[in-house]
Amino acid sequence: MSETETRTAPTAESHAGNGVSAAMTATKPLVELSHVEKHFGSLHVLKDINLKVNTGEVLVVVGPSGSGKSTMCRTINRLESIDSGVIRIDGEPLPQEGRDLANLRAEVGMVFQSFNLFANKTILENMTLAPIKVRHMERKDAEDLAMDLLARVGVESQASKMPSQLSGGQQQRVAIARALAMKPKIMLFDEPTSALDPEMVNEVLDVMTQLAQEGMTMICVTHEMGFARRAANRIVFMADGRILEEDTPDGFFDHPKTKRAQDFLSKILTH
């Protein structure tokens, strides 16, 4: 594999070593958080967050409950405002409001824990709504794209059904396909499998792993450590609103540096 290919689409096999560090300095990050601070009232939830994500990188964010993982994700597409610091997407600071913000949101796909499909619309309508409204696609083109994406996540036969007729795993795969229909530059996943019955977790993780292998830039908050080891280029460990560690999967899981990370891992890995 050439240097360029390694840089644009890092694989699960790529290690932090010199290759990745060189790539990190050589390319402009797709997402960059600098000195980000966020309070909810008197609660200081994000403390001097500095993070860069390059195109094609898969970042997995882990950490104890309440450490600020979801809040950090939500600031990246401005579902939450920040108090200070800067967040840049593709070099551009996040817009405050209006059309620019709507355009930005279209470029950042987000999949949450709960399936946020529109309950009163069919799967196909769920898929085509935003591409037609926001991307101004022709209905036929939007439907063709929708069917392609539904096929990619293995639920094309469900297109005419209502969300409630699908299993949780199928709904979550539709949610991923729906986000992809906007042709986002980056996908954010906030615990996309934690509300699923155990037997449905893998079908969603398989779709995410496939996306990662195809070179999608991804930030994933997840407790699925198998997925993290397999698909992540980097692990970010958060505790109390701070990023305490940032390392390769092997580095983080095999040699966590801080006591907080060691405690966290000993709890989740013994389950």
Q: Which of 54, 55, 67, 70 binds Mg ion (CB under 5 A)?
A: 70
108 closest CA partner among 58, 179, 43 = 179
Contact letters (x/-) for ligand ATP, 69-88, by CB under 6 A? xxx-----------------
Could you tell me the smallest distance in angstroms from the CB atom of residue 124 to Mg ion?
30
**Of these partners, ligand ATP, Mg ion, none, which one is at the site of residue 29 (CB under 5 to 8 Å by kind)?**
none
DSSP state of 211: H
Residues 43-72 touching ligand ATP, rule: CB under 6 A, are 43, 45, 63, 65-71
Number of residues that bind ligand ATP (CB under 6 A): 11
Judged by DSSP in three states, 148 sits in helix
How many helices (H) and strands (E) in the chain?
A: 11, 10
174 closest CA partner among 138, 135, 226, 129 = 129
Could you tell me the smallest distance in angstroms from the CB atom of residue 63 to ligand ATP?
6
Token output for 237 = 């460990």
Q: What is the DSSP secondary-structure string of 216-237?
A: -EEEEE-S-HHHHHHH-SEEEE
**Interface stretch with ligand ATP, choices 37-45, 156-164, 168-176, 196-204 (CB under 6 A):** 37-45
State the Cα–Cα distance between residues 118 and 178, nearest whole angstrom.
11
DSSP state of 95: P
Could you tell me the smallest distance in angstroms from the CB atom of residue 181 to Mg ion?
25
Could you tell me the smallest distance in angstroms from the CB atom of residue 168 to Mg ion?
18
**Interface stretch with Mg ion, choices 51-59, 69-77, 95-103, 145-153 (CB under 5 A):** 69-77
Q: Which is nearer to ligand ATP, 46 or 94 (CB)?
A: 46
Determine the residue type at 133.
K
**Interface with ligand ATP includes 118 (CB under 6 A)?**
no
Among all chains, which residue has been given the structure tokens 């050589």?
26
CA Rg, the chain, in Å?
A: 18
Q: Which of 40, 118, 138, 250 binds ligand ATP (CB under 6 A)?
A: 40
**Interface with ligand ATP includes 114 (CB under 6 A)?**
no
**Interface with Mg ion includes 71 (CB under 5 A)?**
no
Strand 58-62: give its sheet, edge to edge: 108-111, 186-190, 217-221, 58-62, 234-239, 242-247
Residues that bind ligand ATP (CB under 6 A): 40, 43, 45, 63, 65-71
Residues that bind Mg ion (CB under 5 A): 70
